[in-house]
């Protein structure tokens, strides 16, 4: 005898004729599966409510609830597959039975050998589906674990910069918040939003290579000091490039000072050559830099910051992003920059 798929497999046979119920029941049990019977559709539903069943083998022509009605009810409420058996082929063609929710069809008089072959095939399909679902869930959990690990790495990098320059750390958090709100306003998908959020949290990580006395200098920067600060996008890219993120974090960080007309740095990219995530962070970056206090100057205010980006939209900054940012700030500006 061929080894059954699972000793835990449960089959329910439904037929108003007891001799047929008994015949199919014995065949199923001889194949190694647990089996019970029901004399009509209503009794079958009561059994399904009480305990799990993998496959229902049902006649069509039964008094009260017929097999088609039972099949439809099973599809609506339970996970069992259904094999339909009937002698009235002229009334119920194969395609109609499948359309009503059955997984397979056997004609009466039933060949028990054929019945068991179809049952085993169906159970193998169920097992394969369950196995794939389990693998997909394991992959999902592995991805979630990887994502948490990467987010932890981002947090560590962000805190490392915060220890050197609290102004920059607070700036990164505010830029991230505003960038995410802009992304939501623009309808950016969740996957890209995750990249924006993580890149925003470390977009200035390259400043860890800049001497802290320059970052916190209260007066105007010299040309050399300014040039040192300008290397931070490339330095940030070098820090992040070897971390295998699911998102292009390193490239977003490198591009967040690029400008639409090519006047930005470090690569002088233009237009769509700049990633949209970097263009969003660029606008949020400028807004926060101008609206917030800096060691070398007091805050210029949100209104002035918005005037800056609106006056140069389509030139330095992406027009659609600036307009989305303006809508966000109109609704939430006071909460973001108190």
Residue 170: CATH number of its domain: 1.10.3210.10
Is residue 46 in some structural domain?
A: yes
148 is a domain residue? no
Position 296 pLDDT exceeds 90: no
- Residue identified by tokens 């007309």 is 261
Q: Which of 114, 134, 154 is the last residue in one of the domains?
A: 134
Phi-psi region of 64 (alpha: psi -120 to 50; beta: other; left: phi over 0): left
Distance of alpha carbon 70 from alpha carbon 227, whole angstroms: 77
pLDDT of residue 3: 41
Domain shared by 180 and 324, yes or no: yes
What gap in Å lies between CA 172 and CA 210, rounded to an integer?
Answer: 16
Q: How far is the CA of 260 from the CAs of 184, 200, 239, in angstroms?
A: 22, 19, 25
Q: Does residue 188 share a domain with residue 277?
A: yes
- Cα separation, 249 vs 244, whole angstroms: 9
Dump pLDDT digits (tens) for 86-117: 765 555 556 667 777 888 888 878 789 998 99
The verdict on 221 and 125 lying in the same domain is no
Those residues with Cβ within 8 angstroms of residue 327's Cβ, 6 or more apart along the chain or in another chain: 185
In a domain, 155, yes or no: no
Query: CA distances (Å), 207 to each of 68, 117, 274, in order?
Result: 70, 69, 21
Q: What local confidence, expressed as pLDDT, does residue 317 receive? A: 97
Angle subtended at Cα 93 by Cα 72 and Cα 89, rounded to the nearest 5 degrees:
110
For CA atoms 42, 43, 44, 50, give the dihedral sign: positive
Q: Are residues 119 and 182 in the same domain?
A: no
- E-only strand ranges, the chain: 10-14, 34-38, 55-59, 81-86, 104-107
77 plus 175 within the same structural domain: no
Q: Are residues 178 and 281 in the same domain?
A: yes
Q: Phi, psi (5° rounding) for residue 191?
A: -65, -45
| Interatomic CA distance for residues 156 and 122, integer angstroms | 51
User: Is pLDDT of 6 > 80?
Assistant: no
Asked whether residue 307 falls in the same domain as residue 177, the answer is yes
User: Domain containing 49 — which CATH number?
Assistant: 3.40.50.2300
100 & 19 share domain: yes
Q: Is the pLDDT of residue 253 over 50?
A: yes
In a domain, 146, yes or no: no
* Tally of structural domains, the chain: 2
Is 149 part of a structural domain of the chain? no
Per-residue model confidence (pLDDT) at position 246 = 84
Q: Are residue 129 and residue 169 in the same domain, yes or no?
A: no
pLDDT score at 217: 77
For residues 236-260, give the mean pLDDT. 93
pLDDT (0 to 100) of residue 297: 66
pLDDT score, position 209: 85
- Residue 152 within a domain: no
Helix 112-164 and helix 190-201, axial crossing angle in degrees, nearest 10: 20
Question: Mean pLDDT, the chain, as a whole number?
Answer: 86
306, two tokens: 């918005």
Secondary structure class of 12 (helix, strand, coil):
strand
Q: Is 147 a domain residue?
A: no
62 part of a folded domain: yes
The highest-confidence range among 33-37, 157-161, 223-227, 332-336, by mean pLDDT, is 33-37
pLDDT of residue 5: 40
Evaluate if pTM is beyond 0.75.
no
> Could you say which of 116, 134, 152 is where a domain stops?
134
Share of the chain above pLDDT 70, in %: 90
Q: Classify residue 122 by its DSSP letter.
A: H
The residue segments making up the domain with residue 74 are 10-134
- Give dist(CA 203, CA 286) in Å, integer: 13
Min mean pLDDT across 49-63, 68-82, 298-312 is at 298-312
**Which CA distances in Å does 33 have to 7, 28, 114, 314?**
6, 6, 16, 70
């Amino acid at each position: 005898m061929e080894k059954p798929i699972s000793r835990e497999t449960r089959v329910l046979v439904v037929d108003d004729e007891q001799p047929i119920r008994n015949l199919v029941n014995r065949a199923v049990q001889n194949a190694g599966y647990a089996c019970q019977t029901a004399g009509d559709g209503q009794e079958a539903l009561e059994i399904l409510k009480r305990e799990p069943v993998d496959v229902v083998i049902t006649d069509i022509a039964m008094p009260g609830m017929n097999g088609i009605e039972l099949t439809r009810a099973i599809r609506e409420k339970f996970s069992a597959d259904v094999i339909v058996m009937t002698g009235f082929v002229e009334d119920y063609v194969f395609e109609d039975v499948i359309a009503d929710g059955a997984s397979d069809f056997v004609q009466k008089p039933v060949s028990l050998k054929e019945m068991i072959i179809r049952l085993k095939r169906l159970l193998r399909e169920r097992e394969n589906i369950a196995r794939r679902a389990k693998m997909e869930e394991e992959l999902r959990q592995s991805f979630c674990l990887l994502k948490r690990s990467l987010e932890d790495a981002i947090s560590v990098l962000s805190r490392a910069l915060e220890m050197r320059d609290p102004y920059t750390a607070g700036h990164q958090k505010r830029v991230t918040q505003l960038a995410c709100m802009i992304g939501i306003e623009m309808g950016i998908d969740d996957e890209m939003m995750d990249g924006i959020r993580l890149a925003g949290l470390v977009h200035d990580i390259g400043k860890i290579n800049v001497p802290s006395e320059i970052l916190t200098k209260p007066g105007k920067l010299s040309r050399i000091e300014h040039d040192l600060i300008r290397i931070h996008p490339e330095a940030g890219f070098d820090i992040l490039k070897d971390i295998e993120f699911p998102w292009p974090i390193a490239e977003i960080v490198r591009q967040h000072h690029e400008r639409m007309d090519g006047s930005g740095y470090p690569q002088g990219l233009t237009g769509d050559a700049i990633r949209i995530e970097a263009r969003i962070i660029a606008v949020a970056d400028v807004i926060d830099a101008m609206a917030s206090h800096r060691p070398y100057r007091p805050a210029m205010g949100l209104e002035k910051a918005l005037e800056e980006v609106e006056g140069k939209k389509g030139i330095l900054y992406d027009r659609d992003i600036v307009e989305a940012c303006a809508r966000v700030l109109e609704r939430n500006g006071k909460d973001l920059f108190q």
